[in-house]
Amino acid sequence: MLGAHEAQALLATAKVASPQRGAFYAPALDSGARRNELAGLRWTETSDLANARVKIERQLRPRGPAPSFGPVKNKMPRTIDLGPETVALLRRHRSDQAELKLRNGAAYRDLGLAFAKQPIDRRRWGYPRRPAPGQRP
C-alpha cells in the first residue's frame, strides 16, 4: 500500500515516462483497480468520462499469444469514480492513441483497448538500431 507522497511520486514518474503510463497508473491510484482490469479496459467502458466514471467489466488474462479476457477477480463488474486529473490524463492518452493509429494505418491492431501495447521507440530506450533487411549489423 502506497502513502499519499509515494502515490504522487509514482504518478509524476509515470506521466514523465509516457502519457499512456500516466493514464494507466492514475485510475489504479484513484480506485485500487487491478493491473489486469485496467489492461482489459476498452474505450467503450470509458464513455462516462464526462461524469468521471469508468466501468470495470473484465480483465486481460496474462497468458497466450493473443489477448483473451475473463471476468474481474470477484466476478462483480463495477463502476469506479475518477479524479479530475485522471480524466484529463485519459482524454490526452485517447487523443495520443488516435494519432498513433493514424500514423500506423493498417499496421495498427485495434482491439478497442484503452491501454493497447504500443510499439517501442527503440532509440529512446537505448536499443541498437536494427539493420535494414539484407544489411549486415
| Domain ranges for the chain | 4-107
Smallest CA-to-CA distance from 24 within 14, 12, 9 is with: 14
The pLDDT score that the predictor gives to residue 121 is 47
Q: DSSP for 101-112? A: HHHHGGGS----
Of the chain, the percentage scoring pLDDT greater than 90 comes to 49
Question: Which one is the CATH code of 4-107: 3.40.50.300, 1.10.260.40, 3.30.460.10, 1.10.443.10?
Answer: 1.10.443.10
Q: Please say if the pLDDT value at position 84 is more than 90.
A: yes
Q: How far is CA 134 from CA 95, 121, 123, 125, 137, in A?
A: 37, 22, 21, 25, 10
Q: Which of 20, 92, 91 is nearest to 50 (CA)?
A: 91
User: What is the predicted pLDDT for the residue at 59?
Assistant: 92
Q: Is 43 helix (H, G, I), strand (E, B) or coil?
A: helix
- What is the model's pLDDT at position 122? 45
Q: Cell triple for residue 136?
A: 549486415
Q: What distance in Å separates the CA atoms of residue 25 and residue 38, rounded to the nearest whole number?
A: 9
**pLDDT band with cut points at 50, 70 and 90 for residue 21:** very high
- Per the structure block, which three cell numbers stand in for 98? 488516435
Does pLDDT of 124 surpass 70? Answer: no
Q: For residue 22, what are the contacts with CB-CB under 8 A and spacing of at least 6?
A: 11, 14, 15, 89, 93
Segment 1-16, tens digit of pLDDT: 788 899 899 899 989 8
Tell me, yes or no, if the pTM score tops 0.85.
Answer: no
Give me the pLDDT at residue 2, please.
82
SS3 49: helix
Q: What is the mean pLDDT of the chain?
A: 84
R_g over Cα of the chain: 17
pLDDT surpasses 60 at 110 = yes
